[in-house]
Amino acid sequence: MTKTKKKVPAAKPAPTKAAPVEKAKTQAAAQSAGIRKKYLKARPACQVTFVLPKEAAPEAEMVCVLGEFNDWSQDAHPLKKLKNGDFTATIELETGRSYRFRYIVDGWKYENDWYADRYEPNPYGGEDSVIDV
């Protein structure tokens, strides 16, 4: 009588916990970077969250967003500094148009948004960030 060997399925590698953690970190980074838009159902408005990553202004103490939505006021919309060093603020904007804007860092340095919908030349020889809502 011949013995038949049982086929033993190959052992599957144990799932690693690092993969989901890395995926979560990547998703969190993507969510923290750039502009987030949340359109309101009740009225023609959009809550826009502006985020200036710490890499854009690593030594910054204060950042404000200024643009057409606040008559380019340098102090109307200060951003809050997060524990990770990013700066953020949420502003409600009317939908159906575009807005030019920039960040001002520590009251003197202008910075564009790396994740703006586009850039347009300004009359001062530079470019403004533009958001479409």
Tell me what pLDDT residue 49 has: 98
Pairwise CA distance, residues 25 & 115, whole Å: 19
Kindly list the domain boundaries of the chain, sorted by start residue. Answer: 34-132
Instruction: Write out the CATH class of domain 34-132.
Output: mainly beta
pLDDT beneath 70, residues of the chain: 1-33
Q: pLDDT at position 34, please?
A: 82
